Chain A
Amino acid sequence: MIGLGHYLVVAGGLFAIGLFGALAKRNAIAILMGIELMLNAVNLNFIAFNRFLAPAQVVGHVFAVCVIVVAAAEVAVGLAIVLGIYRRHLSTDVEHFDWLKW
């Protein structure tokens, strides 16, 4: 029988993979993909908790929809920033984005 623990471990694995992608990649778009994976893992957590701890309610689903809205806004603005930087410096490599330090 599949319980809450199974889903939480899978979500934890997805979150860890997303974190690795966000920390280890050099392409800014790949970093945003990692963040999307992390947000998705969080959604899976919300829905799993909702299903097993309070099945008659939809509070977890409301949270998940809010996370989806935030993820959409985040990816829209994030990619616009990447495009803006690319237009000026012809690069999407975050290791070139270091004008704020010297």
Chain B
Amino acid sequence: MLHHFAAVAVFLLAGLAVGIAALAVAWVVRPKRPTLLKLSTYECGLPTQGPTWVQFKSGYFLFALLFLVFDVETVFLYPWAVKFKALGLFAFLEMVVFIGILLLGWWYAWKEGAFEWK
């Protein structure tokens, strides 16, 4: 099995090398004459306003939370889907219960307005 993933390692290393090489070549050949205007933060041509680290709305946290919970659910759904035919009806009913329990949470999140974009 390992040699299947050796391609992944080669791809990762090659990708890393390309990125590093591009930056290194740019660093070697570029002229460096900084002025105050060149060093300023670029924001659509306008001068930047206020600090960059601003506080975000807490509604974003709920989106990330729902993503995490249903991401973990897929961990169980995927092997079941792969072996769906071999496992049969009993496994199907188990997964109906599993998904039903999580749909309760989904309904609660809906009721609390976690899906609303304000």
Contacts and interface: CB of A to CB of B under 8 A. Distances in A.
Given A65-B75, A68-B75, A83 B61 contact: yes
B58 A87 contact: yes
Interface residues of B, number: 9
B75 A76 contact: no
A80 B62 CA distance: 9
A10 B54 CA distance: 38
Contacts of B75: 65, 68-69
A interface SS class: helix
A24 interface: no
Interface residues of A, number: 10
B72 A69 contact: yes
Nearest to B65: A76
A57 B75 CA distance: 19
A87 B58 CA distance: 10
A79 B69 CA distance: 14
Contacts of B72: 68-69, 72
A35 to B, nearest CB: 15
Interface in A30-63: none
Contact of B69 (A65, A68, A76): A76
A93 B68 CA distance: 25
A75 B72 CA distance: 12
A6 B65 CA distance: 36
Interface of A: 65, 68-69, 72, 75-76, 79-80, 83, 87
Give the 6 A-B residue pairs with the shortest CB-CB distance, closest first.
Answer: A72-B72, A76-B65, A72-B68, A69-B72, A76-B68, A83-B61
